[in-house]
């Protein structure tokens, strides 16, 4: 099954805020833009009618809850208090 969830990820350097990488899913094959008009029209129809909207770059235009950013903070607090152990 090739079905994927929609989402985005950003890798940022914590020292200076530099964006190291961005990824957005689902995606599409950008090679459709080099197809013949007939093939492009077919491919465009498929992409444009996709309910998951692969043309949206979720890494820069969508809002997602920052779930994983709080896990290290919570883990560090648990380690400091002794309620969590590294193992």
Give the DSSP per-residue string, the chain: ------EEEEEE-TTT--EEEEEEES---GGGGGS-HHHHHHHHHHHHT-TT-TTS-HHHH-----GGGSHHHHHHHHHHHTSS---
Q: Inform me whether the pLDDT recorded for 3 exceeds 90.
A: no
Mean predicted confidence (pLDDT) in 6-12: 87
| pLDDT tens for each residue of 32-85 | 999 999 999 999 999 999 999 999 988 888 776 666 667 788 888 999 999 998
Tell me which residues are annotated as active site: 68
Structure confidence at residue 1 as a pLDDT band (50, 70, 90) = very low
Does the predicted model carry a pTM greater than 0.85?
no
């Amino acid at each position: 099954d090739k079905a994927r969830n929609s989402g985005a990820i950003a890798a940022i350097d914590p020292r200076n805020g530099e964006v190291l990488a961005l990824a957005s899913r689902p995606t599409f094959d950008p090679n459709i833009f080099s197809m013949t008009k007939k093939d492009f029209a077919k491919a465009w129809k498929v992409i444009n009618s996709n309910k998951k909207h692969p043309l949206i770059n979720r890494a820069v235009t969508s809002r997602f809850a920052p779930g994983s950013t709080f896990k290290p903070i919570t883990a560090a607090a648990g380690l400091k208090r002794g309620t969590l152990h590294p193992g």
